[in-house]
Structure 1
Amino acid sequence: MTMDELLHDPEFIELIKQYIDYLKSSVLEINTKLANGEYHDVMKFGHNIKGSGGGYGFMELTDLGKALEIAANDENKEECQKYLDLIEKFVQDKN
């Protein structure tokens, strides 16, 4: 199936909704972890969405995940927050 065909498949659409719900709850949790300086968890979240975003057709999310992973590896709180905010906006735009 092509991505265009998948976007019209009710089962795939349901998977996308579940993925967006996962992202929504995870962003809240990861924001707390960032505030506590838990960069390893922030980095893992970035890595996970870097890998999974494209599978749902969200290449922008893959790029944001990669950027978040790098920022967390560098323990750059401001950059991490910037990318988390962009991920949160992405999720809000999909709801």
Structure 2
Amino acid sequence: MNDNTGDSIRIMSEFADDPDMSELVREYVGMMPRRVDQMMDAFERNERDHLIRLAHQLKGSGGGYGFPILTDAAGKLEECLLELPSNDLGEVETQLQTLVDVCSNMAA
């Protein structure tokens, strides 16, 4: 479920109305700014392997917290990184920005 607020679309967890999951989802969403910083740092340092690990972790955890769009975006970045013939991360900037946008718009 997505909620329009201002210029951006808030991406709500599929578990937003589940009282058993609400605290876990809130904590997960709360760690996204740190994850975005880690991904951007890895990108700027041209650390392909680290960026692959971060994308893989988000791909694996996104659906479990009710964010299949996160799983999809992280999976696309991971796939793009794995197919890179070199460490030139400039080729994956669009996929990274899509994932950063998803992370930045997630809401509990």
> Is TM more than 0.5 here?
yes
The match for 2:57 is 48
Number of residue pairs aligned between Structure 1 and Structure 2: 92
The match for 1:61 is 70
SS at match of 1:37: coil
Structure 1 position 16 matched with structure 2 position 25? yes
Once the two structures are superposed, the pairs formed by residues 77-92 of structure 1 within 5 Å of their partners are 77-92=89-104
Distance 1:63 1:35 in 2: 23
What's the offset of the Cα at 1:7?
3.1
> Where in structure 1 are there 5+ consecutive unaligned residues?
none
Distance 1:47 1:53 in 2: 10
SS at match of 1:10: coil
* Cα distance per residue 1:24-81 (max 9 Å; x no partner): 2111121111111100010011111111111111111111111111122224523432
Larger helix proportion of the pair:
1
TM-score with structure 2 setting the length: 0.71
SS at match of 2:17: coil
Distance 2:75 2:88 in 1: 14
Larger strand proportion of the pair:
2
Distance 2:18 2:68 in 1: 19
- Counterparts in 2 of 1:65 and 1:76: CA distance versus 1, 3 Å: farther
- More contact order relative to length (CA 8 Å, sep ≥ 6): 2
> Where in structure 2 are there 5+ consecutive unaligned residues?
1-12
RMSD between aligned alpha carbons?
2.1
Distance 1:92 1:72 in 2: 21
